[in-house]
Every structure is written in C-alpha cells, then in structure tokens.
Amino acid sequence: MSKLKIISVRPQWQQELAQSFTDPQQLARFLNLPQQWVAQHEAARRLFPLRVTRHFASLMEPGNTGDPLLLQVLPHANEFIEREGFITDPLAEQNTGKNGVLHKYKSRVLVILRGGCAINCRYCFRRHFPYADHHFGQAELAQLLTLIEQDPNINEVILSGGDPLMATDQHVAQLLTKLEQVPQLKRIRIHSRLPVVLPSRLTESLAQRLASSRLQAILVLHINHPNEISPQLTQALLFWAQAGITLLNQSVLLAGVNDDAKVLTELSEMLFSARVLPYYLHQLDRVAGASHFAVSDAVARALLQQLQANLPGFLVPKLVREVAGEPSKTPL
C-alpha cells in the first residue's frame, strides 16, 4: 500500500507574494513603460532592491511614468543625490535598539518582528536598517517579556518591521498568547503596509484571533494615496472592522505623490469609507536616498490648513515629524 502524500498549501497571500516584481524591466513590461527610461534609473536598485506585488502594480496607470504609486517603488537616479542632513539612520534606531526591540517611548515598546516586506518603498526610513542584527526569536521574546515585567510603565506592544504581517497567522497568534499573560499590557498594535499591497493578507482567522484577545487590537495601515485603496482592500477591512479591530492610517507626505490638498482630502474620505480613521501625516524622515521626496514645512503647513478647511476635524490627520531621541512625535 502506498503512503498518502501530504501536500502543504501556502496561504493565498504567500502565493501572491512569491510572484512579486523584483526586476525593473519586468515591471516596465507589465506597465508598458518606456524601457529606455527605466534603464536610466535602474542602477538605483543597487542602493535598495526593487520589490512590489502584482496587486499594487495593477493599481498603477499603464504607460504613466509619473504615476503616484509607481514613484513610490521604482528605483530612480535621484537616489544617488547626497543632500546634507539625509543620513542612513535618521531616527537613531540602529544603536538604541537591540534584540529586535526598540523602547523609544515611555508606555510602548516596539518589536521588529520581521525584517522583510512585500514592498520596498523608496522613501523607507529603514531602507538602511541592519535587520540581520535584530532577529526576533524565542530568546528575544523571553527578553521582551522580562523587559515589560520590569517596567510597569509599558502597557502596549507595537509590532513593526520590515512588516510584522510577513509573519504567519500562527506566529502572530503564538506571540499574542504570550503577551496576553502579562497583566499590565492593555493593547497590541500592528503597523503594516502589507494589506495595502496584498489585501489577501487580512485573513478572517487573524481578525478573529485578535478580536478574541483580552488585549485591544489596533491595525495601523500605511496608505499614501487614494489609488492604493482597492475594492479588495476595502472588503477585507470591512470584515476586520466588524470584528472589532480598530483601524487607523498613517501617511508620509511625498513630493510628486500626495503633496496636493485635493489628493489628501480624497484620501481621508476614502479611508473613512473603508472604516479607517486618518491618524498621522508624517513629514519625510530624512533618510539617505530619499531627499527628492522632501516637502518643505511651509508647504506641509499650508496643506494642513487646506485639509482643515475641506474636512471635518476627525478626518484631518495630525501633521507630525519624528525627531530622534524625542519622547513623542513632534506636531508641526
């Protein structure tokens, strides 16, 4: 009698992830972009590799080299520009964190749960981060629990990365079970861009596990432009909202992408329609290779004034900058 062969089937989001674009020319062919134009900028992939999912690429306008979603992911020659004040570690995290844990704020502790991501945003403030030095395994989890128990001020754990939702549902659930055993903890917060580029990552099973936890669960998305809010994402978010998960969004102000009051107004409206509350509008973290995305503080404040005139107060995100060493975000 032959033995029954067991076939392991990967979740849909992992199958989609495996089909991501990593070659600029391949992405150019998919979007019908000028091959020569892409070739002019391709060298920048040496500074930071290209990675973008097919779902996110499908939301871009074919043939448009100025598409606001494309500009966020395609390597560009401007990344070679060296500008004063733009450095590899703009938030001074590389020397302050250890063992995958960053304790920058009094009541919160941040965990670099996964170093990888489904999309490499060219403005990422951790594009130079040494993820290999911040592995988070069982030993690091034990140290995290000890840290929390020794500091009664900590009542919230933030899962970050890379992208924490690169971890499987089972892994997130196992971590959640450990955290639930620490009485002083009140909340778990997940910061992720993965659902935007892979809506299938918002599984019902993970939503149900988070909803069943004694810890309040918060999902903070990273959406910069209304074109990123696809019908698939909206549908998945509706289930998560109905499960009782608090949904927030933080954006980064990016020149040529969303530095426009009409775009930002539409973004807030579409977020709320998808059950997501606008949370932060970040000024760009001054990371080396991203200076061409910078928007001046004067322009940022003018945009905020227009948003305040266009929107009800609860749809106006807080305009902030993160300053290394400060105990909280700095409002502008």
Predicted pLDDT at 5: 53
| Beta strands 216-222; 187-192: pairing state | parallel
Inter-CA distances, 283 with 149, 168, 255, 261, 303, Å: 34, 31, 11, 15, 12
Q: Where are the alpha helices (DSSP H) in 222-280?
A: 231-242, 261-273
AA letter at 45: R
CB neighbour list of residue 230: distance below 8 Å, 6 or more residues apart: 55, 59, 199
Cβ atoms 51, 88 nearer than 8 A: no
Closest by CA position to 51, among listed 138, 130, 118: 118
pLDDT at 30: 97
Each domain of the chain, given as residue ranges in start order, spans 12-80, 101-331
pLDDT tens-place string over residues 150-175? 999 999 999 998 999 999 999 999 99
Q: 305 exposed, middle or buried (CB, 10 Å; 0-12, 13-18, 19+)?
A: exposed
Residues (pLDDT < 50) of the chain are: 1-2, 6
According to DSSP, the residues that pair with 318 across neighbouring strands are: 280
Question: Which tokens in the block code for residue 272?
Answer: 């709320």
Identity of the amino acid at 88? T
Is there a contact between 270 and 230 (Cβ–Cβ < 8 Å)? no
Q: Are 241 and 272 in contact (CB under 8 A)?
A: no
Contact 59, 199 (CB under 8 A): no
Tell the residue number behind the tokens 């309040």, with chain if given: 216
Q: How far is CA 69 from CA 60, 101, 271, 325, 329, in A?
A: 6, 31, 17, 32, 26
Element (H, E) at 286: none
Tokens of 219: 């999902």
Tell me, what's the pLDDT at 282? 97
Closest CA to 179 of 219, 137, 214: 214
Q: Measured between alpha carbons, how far is 64 from 114 in angstroms, rounded to an integer?
A: 33
User: Among residues 243, 241, 187, 242, which one has the least CA distance to residue 215?
Assistant: 187
Determine whether 83 is exposed, middle or buried from the number of CB atoms within 10 Å of its CB (0-12, 13-18, 19+): middle
Tokens linked to 251: 């954006």
Domain over 101-331 is classified CATH 3.20.20.70:
yes
Amino acid at position 275, single letter: R
Q: Tell how far CA 322 is from the center of its chain.
A: 15
